[in-house]
Amino acid sequence: MTSTHTTERHRLRAIVLTGMLVLSALAGVGVVPTVSVAAENASSPTPLANYTFDGDCPVADTSGNGNEGICHGGVDTSGNENFTFDGTDDYVDGPEVDSTDAFTWVAQFETSADQGEWGSSLVSRWDDPGGDGTDGGSNKLQLGGSNNWGSGVLRFQIVGADGNTYSIEGTENLADGQSHTVVGVYNGSQMRLYVDGQVVGTNGDYSGPIADADDQPMRIGTRGDTGATYFAGTIDQVTIYDAVPDEYQPSEPEPTQTAGPIVVENTLTEVGNTTTVNVTLETAPSGLAGYTLTVGLDTGTVGNITDVTIPDAYELSHPTEIGSDNDTVHIQATDLYNETVPGDTNVTLARLSLEGTATGTTNVSVQSVHPSTADDDHAELDTTVEAGTLVVEEGEQPPNADAGDDQTVDEGSTVTLDASGSDDQDGDPLSYSWLQTSGTSVTLSDTSAEQPTFTAPEVSGSETLTFEVEVDDGEATDTDTVSVTVQDTDADTGEALYRVNAAGPEISVSGGTNWGEDTNANPSPYLLSPEFGVTNQDQPENL
């Protein structure tokens, strides 16, 4: 709950005049208009007691019922327009209230200090369900303390005839030195709590009479039994009803407004690919203040939700939550800048990114939705939803490149490279691109042919040439390599074993199966070459 104060603080004072409860803003200077906050009509009940704290003790009752308030402790009445309570032993006894069916309490106050460990009671009445004085409890408007539900936080509590207590709590600290007007209402079946003109909570857990008061008076500034939780500050106004004025009766709920439908787009994707879908509110007759939305995949085996974004017109009021199985997403968003106005159509609420994980079909459904109107009431919109469909197909498969088997060829020969073993699962036509990646450079007959040719280059000894082919089906590519080893056709005829006969000055060589030995019985390897004759490999000169 929120209280708003002007820069120059005005003291607000509630006055009951001729059956009408109003707020008069009394500024230090100038004239401030009077604002009506609880205008009663002729059918509304009149107060049982109304204390404006204008004079001295006893406190005058301006309701006309003669229920003067009795002061206790050292209540300071010098404020003329309010009484000051010291938080120690000051309080005022009001009338005994016999009604157990319904009541309304109005209090205007301003704190002057912290309200202690257990807080302070503004208005209270002690009730004794058992009638023996041993099991009582308080109906009360009380500010919390540091040891209970929160310093300065307002609680409205009743004691039912069943002996149980029922309560409503606000959320903000009202012990802030500012003027506040609070109202507690029980109409026999529902509790309502107002702070500064706004409903901050309701409770319908109990229906029936409240407990008997056992001749206890209403008390202002302390608890209703033995005196405790004393209030520290000024009280400007207390009004007590033994019924509920019309302005505090629960209003009939606003009729829901038809909008929508909320539609999820149909989409198609392939396994491994991602697509996006929009979630759209088709009509917003009353605008859109915000929404809570849960969208999910009915079959989580064919896809995942990978991301979600919302339009710039909205702000996330809670971090977006994608479920642990990646098949649901929860979104809470608010239109902070009134971008969506009454009558807007095709309002995008969210954009989901969906990844295809397996072939199949699933609905993309709005599992829950709570949109609210853009008017002051922010009533929930009544809308229908229409699921979309995600279809996941196998998709384009890449080709399989095959550059053929490795080859060994003679220099000068014609070599054919062969990629005819390449294929494509989708049956798409293939194109080829050949590239030499190593070895003596050669010229291919056609680098885009399935089976290009080239002439093996002259080499010394042998050399390996490497070629790569890239196969393209129009959607994807694949590559493979092949090696071609080229041999030198002019190479030595080979090595042989020869016996060396060293007898005198002449040396003869004859074929044999074992290496010969020189005169020192050492092996003498020789190589027979068509060009150079017989060569001693250890002493390479012609023999």
N- to C-terminal Cα separation, the chain: 117
Residue 87: helix, strand or coil by DSSP? coil
Matching fold, domains 257-393 and 407-487: yes
The whole-angstrom separation of Cα 224 and Cα 524 is 129
Give the start-to-end residue ranges of the domains of the chain: 11-244, 257-393, 407-487, 498-536
* Residues paired with residue 220 on neighbouring β-strands, in sequence order: 92, 123
Q: b/e per residue, 411-434, with b = 16+ CB within 10 A?
A: beeebebbbeebebeeeeebebeb
Measured between alpha carbons, how far is residue 513 from residues 454, 510, 528 in Å? 43, 10, 14
CATH topology of domain 11-244: Jelly Rolls (2.60.120)
Its CATH class, for the domain covering 407-487, is mainly beta
Give domain 257-393's CATH number out of 2.60.40.680, 2.20.25.10, 3.40.50.300, 2.30.30.100.
2.60.40.680
Q: Which residues contact 55 (CB under 8 A, 6 or more apart)?
A: 77
pTM for this prediction: 0.43
Contact (Cβ atoms closer than 8 angstroms) between residue 403 and residue 481: yes
Residue 126 and residue 216 in contact, taking contact as beta carbons nearer than 8 Å: yes
pLDDT tens sequence for the chain (543 residues): 333 333 222 332 332 322 222 222 222 222 222 223 333 333 578 899 999 998 899 999 999 999 999 999 888 888 778 899 988 889 999 888 777 788 899 999 999 887 878 888 999 887 755 454 444 568 889 988 888 888 889 999 998 888 889 999 988 889 899 999 999 999 999 999 999 988 888 999 999 988 776 677 889 998 866 667 899 999 999 999 989 998 888 766 555 556 779 999 999 998 889 999 999 999 887 788 888 889 999 987 899 999 999 988 888 878 888 998 999 999 988 887 888 888 889 999 999 999 999 999 999 999 888 877 665 555 666 778 899 999 998 877 889 999 999 999 999 999 999 999 999 988 889 999 999 999 999 999 999 999 999 999 999 989 999 999 999 999 899 999 999 999 998 755 444 444 455 555 555 555 544 444 444 444 555 444 444 444 454 444 444
Strands 407-410 and 477-487: parallel
